[in-house]
Amino acid sequence: MIPVTKTYLPPIEEYLSYIQKIWAGGQITNHGPLVRELEMRLKEYLGVKHLFLVTNGTIALQIAIKALGLKNEIITTPLSYVATTSSIVWEGCAPVFADIENDTLTINPREIEKKISKKTTGIITTHVYGNPCDIEAIDEISKKNNLKVIYDAAHAFGVRYREKALVSYGDISVLSFHATKIFHTIEGGALITHDDEMAHKISYMRNFGHDGEESFFGLGINGKMSEFQAAMGLCILPHINEVIERRRLIHNTYDELLDFDRLSKPVWRGGANHNYAYYPVLFQTEQQLLATRELLRKNNIYPRRYFYPPLNTLAYIKKQPAQVTEDISRRILCLPLSHDLKKNEGECTANTINKSIKRN
Ligand SMILES: *Cc1c(COP(=O)(O)O)cnc(C)c1O
């Protein structure tokens, strides 16, 4: 069976040696030595000033919303994983959807401008599939309208844009280190900011607001990463370039073999590298996608409809149109991509798709 992705697990001896360190030190959570070491290594790897590990990417989004004091309306993208929207609703704010660009599939800055009201306090949007948003335009709009910007960079680990880590843009960027992401800590996430005051706020907000044992800086929540999670990250980080390289090879196999007279791909923004986190392809019709998925399943190949349904159609939010997203979401499919996928498995997947779209 070929799943859409497979969790990378490091050599077990490497994980065990960290477990032995945990046993020797006796500390298993509460900002222990492994969490501190992973924070330091990630800041180095990404080249960012402040980075705070938390227990998952969703709590990172929620802390970001709280730390920036966002209220009322937040403009967001309808093409993302559900956590981008649900964290806004969970924090008592209203998501207002701005439609996407039909080529890059990231939020359309012109649509953001149309959705700004007196109640808008911020923008939360996703570098979907690791493809950077139109950062310059969003920057200009946010400055002109006094809005805060949070980038959901859950797909963007290792992407560099204009000589800097993509996660260094915005007031806060958020990463997810869930087991399905290219770099993971089993469950985990991080907040990145260049602002010292914001950094201080995040540092106490993730730890109940504590200022020492008996006083508090302010409101907080439990967002702490454990030593076991950090140990996984410390084991994987030295292998990350090799993981990305193996994904690149499968990516290239798809690029070479797929029938791009009938299929298309999102346009990658200039100035950014790929991290090969996903391989999204667009079919001409939803019917063609469904027929192809059926044939792939018969061959034990399991792609996923990332991202379907569009988030503007969720039952718990006020209905809002987003025509481009609704069209794209029906026609986009993410193909299997992992460090473990063999070249012949990639070839088989591509050939099966080509066969299906000739018929449908
Ligand atoms: C995975 C993901 C999240 C959620 O991260 P968790 O660590 O699973 O909580 C948020 N946004 C996007 C775009 C994601 O893909």
Distance CA 307, CA 131 (A): 14
Helical pair 82-90 and 57-67, crossing angle rounded to 10 deg:
40
126 close to ligand 1 (CB < 6 Angstrom): yes
- 């560099």: which residue's tokens? 160
Instruction: Give 315-359 pLDDT, tens digit per residue.
Output: 999 989 999 999 999 999 999 999 999 999 999 999 999 999 999
Distance 23 CA to ligand 1 centre (A): 31
Residue ranges of alpha helices (H) inside the chain are 12-25, 33-46, 57-67, 82-90, 109-115, 135-145, 196-205, 227-236, 240-257, 286-298, 323-331, 343-359
Phi and psi at 84, nearest 5°, equal: -60, -40
Instruction: Give 285-300 pLDDT, tens digit per residue.
Output: 999 999 999 999 999 9
185 close to ligand 1 (CB < 6 Angstrom): no
Tokens at 310, concatenated: 């569009």
Distance CA 189, CA 340 (A): 23
Distance CA 339, CA 251 (A): 11
Give 81's pLDDT tier (boundaries 50, 70, 90): very high
Q: Which residues are CB-contacts of 267 (< 8 A; sequence separation ≥ 6)?
A: 103, 104
pLDDT score for 248:
98
pLDDT score for 147:
98
Distance 36 CA to ligand 1 centre (A): 22
Distance CA 311, CA 220 (A): 28
> Can you say whether residue 69 is alpha, beta or left, with left for phi > 0 and alpha for psi between -120 and 50 degrees?
left
Q: In the predicted model, what is the mean pLDDT of residues 189-203?
A: 98
Instruction: Indicate the pTM of the whole model.
Output: 0.98
Helical pair 12-25 and 227-236, crossing angle rounded to 10 deg:
140
Distance 291 CA to ligand 1 centre (A): 29
Measured from the CA of 58, which atom of ligand 1 is nearest? 9
Which H/E stretch holds residue 51? Answer: strand 50-54
Percent of the chain past pLDDT 70, that is, above it, reads: 100
Distance CA 22, CA 33 (A): 9
Rg (CA), the chain: 21
pLDDT score for 360:
83
pLDDT score for 142:
98
pLDDT score for 21:
98
Q: What is the mean pLDDT of the chain?
A: 98
pLDDT score for 318:
92
pLDDT over threshold 90, residue 212: yes
